[in-house]
Amino acid sequence: MSVPRETSGEKSSRVIGTRRLKEPMPKPIKTRIFTVANQKGGVGKTTSAVNVAAALAMGGLRTLVIDLDPQGNASTAFSIDRDAVAGMYEVITRDLPMNDVVIKVNGFPHLECAPATQSLANAEVELVSMVGREVRLKKALNNFLQERANNGERIDYVIIDCPPSLGLLTINALVSAEELMIPIQCEYYSLEGLALLLHTVSLVQEHLNPHIRLTTILLTMFDGRTRLANDVAANVRQHYPNELIDIPIPRAVRISEAPSYGQTVMTYDPLSNGAQTYMAVAREIANRGAAVIHTAKEIS
Ligand code: ADP
Ligand code: MG
């Protein structure tokens, strides 16, 4: 199977996207909780977290994004004023209920965000000496989901955006989730570090959360004209045929512009190639709800 060249990919995704933009997506049997992680910075974690979440919400699925990166890029993409709100710092280190910080995202009836405030940068250090330091997010999230379920408002998708490190915030995210989503930038060295990430996941599996599985790999900033991008894609396809979402996300100016307008590309330019590709990716993720899941150990 070859990766479609950008021109043909663009054409087909436009057709698919236009036709399917308004079609509802299938609900999962239970809440699916994803951690979006890769200790490399700038690979498209936040961009993928917010756009996949926005697309799922547009598909009618109740979605929550947890911004666990002190840089707060996901919160910014949703136009949340990071100075004015309490956020995940207070939830993780001060036991503030998550419901007190969760904010509805403007323009999306089904999308909410638990924002990161500047102070989240202190959490990494403060957590070290705290009791139950690895399970604080899991407890807060479970309480929140339970509370919502009791009100008849089951959340369908939780997407946790991680900082570019394998510190305690990322560990908290891995402990809270059942599924790991890894965005891979189709560039030189992009697969370096994957082994360390998967080793960390297997340690978490062993000691803290037996349920976490690598289920989803995204190819980001894909430029089909370069041999390198195609080689990286082929390599990932060969090693992770079940986990790879084989709809490469193109490098697209509209995707990178959207956050500066406090938006996702899904609302900034819904008919652009980037938005339509993220829509197709989200639909594939929703459709795969019941797909066979492998452990990171089995595949590494
Ligand atoms: P991470 O969260 O892994 O650090 P980001 O999602 O913030 O990475 O992406 C890094 C940079 O690349 C950002 O400036 C973002 O706007 C840009 N970017 C991400 N995906 C794309 C894309 N598909 N096309 C163009 N620019 C992108
Ligand atoms: Mg980020």
pLDDT digit string, tens, across residues 113-134: 999 988 999 999 999 999 999 9
Task: Kindly state whether residue 4 falls inside one of the protein's structural domains.
Answer: no
Residue tagged 């509805």 (tokens): 104
Query: Is 22's pLDDT higher than 60?
Result: yes
Q: Averaged over 15-42, what is the pLDDT? A: 82
Residue nearest to atom 27 of ligand 1 (CA): 256
pLDDT confidence tier of residue 11, bands split at 50, 70 and 90? very low
Task: Kindly state whether residue 296 falls inside one of the protein's structural domains.
Answer: no
pLDDT confidence tier of residue 20, bands split at 50, 70 and 90? low
Q: What's the CA gap between 281 and 264, in Å, rounded?
A: 15
Ligand 1, closest atom to CA 43?
A: 3
pLDDT tens, position by position, 225-268 = 999 999 999 999 999 999 999 999 999 999 999 999 999 999 99
Task: Kindly state whether residue 43 falls inside one of the protein's structural domains.
Answer: yes
Q: What's the CA gap between 141 and 42, in Å, rounded?
A: 27
Task: Kindly state whether residue 275 falls inside one of the protein's structural domains.
Answer: yes
Query: Is 297's pLDDT higher than 80?
Result: no
Task: Kindly state whether residue 91 falls inside one of the protein's structural domains.
Answer: yes
Compute how many other C-beta atoms are within 10 angstroms of the C-beta atom of residue 18: 13
Task: Kindly state whether residue 294 falls inside one of the protein's structural domains.
Answer: no
Task: Kindly state whether residue 271 falls inside one of the protein's structural domains.
Answer: yes
- Is the Cβ–Cβ distance between 124 and 49 less than 8 Å? no
pLDDT of residue 187: 82
Q: Ligand 1 pocket test: which of 256, 257, 264 has the largest number of ligand atoms within 8 Å of its C-beta?
A: 256
pLDDT of residue 107: 92
CA of 44 to the centre of ligand 1 (A): 4
Q: What's the CA gap between 31 and 147, in Å, rounded?
A: 13
Q: Ligand 1 pocket test: which of 47, 170, 263 has the largest number of ligand atoms within 8 Å of its C-beta?
A: 47
Mean pLDDT of the chain: 89
Ligand 1, closest atom to CA 40?
A: 3
pTM over 0.95: no
Task: Kindly state whether residue 247 falls inside one of the protein's structural domains.
Answer: yes
Query: Helix, strand, coil % (nearest 5) of the chain?
Result: 45, 15, 40
Q: What's the CA gap between 257 and 273, in Å, rounded?
A: 13
CA of 155 to the centre of ligand 2 (A): 23
How many domains does one find in the chain?
1
Domain range for 243 is 26-289
CA of 147 to the centre of ligand 1 (A): 34
Ligand 1, closest atom to CA 252?
A: 24
The three-class DSSP label of residue 93 is helix
Query: Is 84's pLDDT higher than 80?
Result: no
Ligand 1 site, CB within 6 A:
41-47, 73, 164, 220-221, 249, 251-252, 255-256, 259, 274
pLDDT of residue 82: 75
- Torsion angle in degrees (nearest 10) through CA of 202, 203, 204, 208: 130
Compute how many other C-beta atoms are within 10 angstroms of the C-beta atom of residue 176: 24
Backbone angles phi, psi at 86, to 5 degrees: -80, 155
- Is the Cβ–Cβ distance between 209 and 242 less than 8 Å? no
**Ligand 2 is a single-atom ion; what residues have CB below 5 A from it?**
45-46, 73
pLDDT of residue 193: 84
Residue nearest to atom 14 of ligand 1 (CA): 256
Residue tagged 């993409």 (tokens): 77
Query: Is 192's pLDDT higher than 70?
Result: yes
pLDDT of residue 15: 47
Query: Is 282's pLDDT higher than 50?
Result: yes
Query: Is 295's pLDDT higher than 60?
Result: no
Q: Residue 189: left if φ>0, alpha if ψ -120 to 50, beta else—which one?
A: left
Ligand 1, closest atom to CA 253?
A: 25
Q: Residue 138: left if φ>0, alpha if ψ -120 to 50, beta else—which one?
A: alpha
In the chain, the DSSP E strands lie at: 32-36, 63-67, 103-104, 111-114, 157-161, 179-185, 213-220
Backbone angles phi, psi at 299, to 5 degrees: -100, -10
Q: Which ligand is nearest to the CA of 67?
A: 2
The CATH number given to whatever domain includes residue 63 is 3.40.50.300
Query: Is 7's pLDDT higher than 60?
Result: no
Compute how many other C-beta atoms are within 10 angstroms of the C-beta atom of residue 15: 11
